[in-house]
């Protein structure tokens, strides 16, 4: 499933777009401000970013610039009320692949999204290495070197994806909770789902870094 990060502080519009993208078959995460959007984009894998410009905490173009400097090359569509020629040029020169001015036609927006995704194959189609195993991000399956296939739940898959896409990084429990369980309000789910992954894939799949958190292990 194609994953979209929507960063929009207008609650009504955000909920409308979440429903529209969901009905179109996309999985959508909604971040209400630039800081939350930055954290999610850096800790989770997405196929498309849809960013408002007038965001609290971090303005949309500043957010995009920070992501590009951090090596995030996910296609970005700017969605904003700032519609002058100069604004559009600034958005495109700032690293966005497309720029849509509010108010917009929902059908046209979805068509532009499809066009962007056609031009760049979705990251969700990639197979990620986990030691000697292969993790398919679409089917949520891990194929071991001996051919054994293990199917993960959605949350287990999200956790393994977070670790596998940043194999050398140590994530704190709070970072894992924010990236994988943003609505839970607790850090303890990180420990729970690390336990689930180890039970399915073996204790070595996630390494505990004492006093810090977790990082990808091996299979």
Q: What is the pLDDT of residues 48-81, one digit of tens each?
A: 999 999 899 999 999 999 988 887 888 999 988 8
Question: Which CATH number applies to 3-123?
Answer: 3.40.50.2300
DSSP 181-213: -TTS--SHHHHHHHHHHHHHH-GGGEEEETTTE
Q: Is the peptide bond before 103 cis (omega within 30 degrees of 0)?
A: yes
Interval 98-117 mean pLDDT:
89
Q: Fold identical between 3-123 and 126-216? A: no
194, 159 in Cβ contact below 8 A?
A: yes
* Predicted model pTM: 0.58
Sign of CA dihedral 18, 22, 28, 29: positive
Over residues 116-173, the pLDDT tens digits come to 887 765 444 467 888 888 888 767 889 988 889 999 988 898 899 889 888 888 999 8
Q: Shortest CA distance to 122 belongs to which of 73, 155, 52?
A: 73
- Could you state, in order of their start, the residue ranges of all structural domains in the chain? 3-123, 126-216
Q: Which two tokens stand for residue 150?
A: 């293990």
pLDDT confidence tier of residue 33, bands split at 50, 70 and 90: very high
Check residue 121 and give its pLDDT. Answer: 52
Task: Name the architecture of domain 126-216.
Answer: Orthogonal Bundle (1.10)
């Amino acid at each position: 499933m194609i994953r979209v990060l929507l960063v929009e502080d207008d609650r009504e519009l955000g909920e409308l777009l979440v429903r529209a993208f969901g009905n179109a078959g996309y999985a959508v995460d909604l971040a209400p401000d630039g800081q939350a959007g930055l954290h999610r984009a850096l800790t989770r894998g997405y196929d498309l970013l849809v960013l408002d410009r007038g965001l609290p905490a971090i303005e949309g173009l500043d957010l995009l610039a920070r992501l590009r400097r951090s090596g995030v090359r996910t296609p970005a569509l700017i969605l904003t009320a700032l519609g002058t020629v100069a604004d559009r040029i600034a958005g495109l020169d700032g690293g966005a692949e497309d720029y849509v001015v509010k108010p917009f036609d929902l059908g046209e927006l979805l068509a532009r999204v499809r066009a962007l995704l056609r031009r760049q194959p979705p990251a969700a189609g990639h197979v990620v290495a986990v030691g000697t195993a292969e993790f398919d991000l679409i089917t949520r399956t891990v194929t071991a070197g001996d051919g054994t296939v293990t199917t993960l739940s959605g949350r287990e898959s999200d956790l393994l994806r977070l670790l596998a896409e940043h194999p050398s990084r140590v994530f704190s429990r709070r970072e894992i909770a924010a990236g994988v369980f943003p609505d839970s309000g607790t850090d303890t789910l990180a420990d729970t789902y690390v336990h689930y992954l180890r039970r399915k894939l073996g204790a070595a799949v996630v390494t505990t870094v004492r006093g810090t958190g977790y990082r990808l292990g091996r299979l």
